[in-house]
Amino acid sequence: MSDAATLAFADLQPEDILATLDDLGLRCDGRFLALNSYENRVYQIGIDEGPPIVTKFYRPRRWSDDAILEEHAFAQSLDEQEIPVVPPLEHEGATLHHAGHHRLAVYPCHGGRAPDLDNLELLRQLGRLVARIHLEGETSRFRHRPGIDIDSYGTESLEYLLENDFIAEDIRAAYESVAELVLDGVEASYERAGDVREIRLHGDFHPGNVLVREDQLHIVDLDDCRHGPAVQDLWMFLSGDRDEQTPQLQALLEGYTAFRLFDARELHLIEALRSLRIMHYAAWLARRRDDPAFRIAFPWFDSHRYWEEHVLALREQVALMQEAPLEWRDY
């Protein structure tokens, strides 16, 4: 993508969005709501004849057209299996549209609330849905999307933060030291897990990407779908201490194993994947520091306190990766 595309994305205005949708034959009624998304620009738009729609304008340079189309194809294949994901709508046979420097997709709008992670029956339902996603995910491979691995999530994040001098000088040595310990711990966790299978995943499956409405669940935002171990789509629904996480894991896997086998060796990867996500998140914020939306949403980023807490979180992960994995009673 060109610099012009980056500038156009940063300066995206409501009139641009409405004019683009009008060109696609979607007559907007003036209702316009920016949704909680920082990587892309996502809006709920009212339509004259029909229910509201959601439109996503993709951030330039992040994914190629081929990678975006793989995301769309994956969502469509899941929808064909009657898995409650939200695939993009087609217009004239296409799901990815170009308007000037912009790339966008249009989705049906589904409302709902975040899931209650204390509801074990809901976790079993989520486990069943994840297993069904993975049954489809293991039928083929992505060609244009990367995996979740130590290099891209861990090593590259560490190098980016150090090379661009984000970290205060009095914290830098502590950060570099603990980050290296984290990467060592991640490698040791992968060695304990052995040769686990990597499949196509949702990739960013957390409570914010699940909508609950009465008894119906909808899974949204496959923007980060990648290859990785199956447990990647499960661990972000575990919260609290070990005693709290154990029954949550049990419920998730009771649902999961009703449809697909689960390799218990992957439990060694839970804290390793959490550690990589913490490192990747800090570098992600740093890479987006020049986006005005990020400055508003994350004003605390790059503060001295932020980096102190980040180093503390990494130290905790080093200790957690040295503990035994969560227990699962496989029936």
* Whether residue 154 sits in one domain with residue 91: no
| Inside any domain, residue 219 | yes
Which CATH number does the domain housing residue 17 bear?
3.30.200.70
Mean pLDDT rounded to a whole number for the chain: 94
User: What is the set of active-site residues?
Assistant: 204, 221
How confident is the model at residue 2, as a pLDDT?
54
Task: Name the domain boundary from 46, 73, 108.
Answer: 108
| Number of structural domains found in the chain | 2
Which CATH number does the domain housing residue 194 bear?
1.10.510.10
Distance CA 304, CA 308 (A): 6
* Whether residue 243 sits in one domain with residue 281: yes
* Whether residue 91 sits in one domain with residue 43: yes
Task: State the pTM of this model.
Answer: 0.94
How confident is the model at residue 315, as a pLDDT?
98
* Whether residue 131 sits in one domain with residue 100: no
**Band of residue 297 on the pLDDT scale cut at 50, 70, 90:** confident
Query: Is residue 126 a contact partner of residue 30, using CB atoms and an 8 Å limit?
Result: no
pLDDT, mean of residues 140-147: 96
* Pairing mode, strands 97-99 and 53-57: unpaired
| Inside any domain, residue 40 | yes
Write the CA distances from 83 to 40, 77, 207, 313, integer angstroms. Answer: 24, 9, 17, 36
**Helix/strand/coil for 248:** helix
Tell me the residue range of the domain where 185 lies: 120-321
* Whether residue 290 sits in one domain with residue 172: yes
**Band of residue 305 on the pLDDT scale cut at 50, 70, 90:** very high
* Whether residue 165 sits in one domain with residue 103: no
**Helix/strand/coil for 134:** helix
Q: Is the pLDDT of residue 150 over 60?
A: yes
pLDDT, mean of residues 279-288: 95
| Inside any domain, residue 221 | yes
| Inside any domain, residue 70 | no
Residue 69, Cβ neighbours under 10 Å: how many? Answer: 17
* Whether residue 168 sits in one domain with residue 51: no
* Whether residue 262 sits in one domain with residue 132: yes
Window from 23-32, 55-64, 239-248 with minimum mean pLDDT: 23-32
- The helix (H) or strand (E) run that includes residue 217 is strand 216-219
* Whether residue 305 sits in one domain with residue 161: yes
Distance CA 192, CA 184 (A): 12
| Inside any domain, residue 278 | yes
| Inside any domain, residue 193 | yes
* Whether residue 54 sits in one domain with residue 139: no
**Band of residue 1 on the pLDDT scale cut at 50, 70, 90:** very low
* Whether residue 316 sits in one domain with residue 177: yes
* Whether residue 249 sits in one domain with residue 104: no
| Inside any domain, residue 115 | no
pLDDT, mean of residues 179-190: 98
| Inside any domain, residue 92 | yes
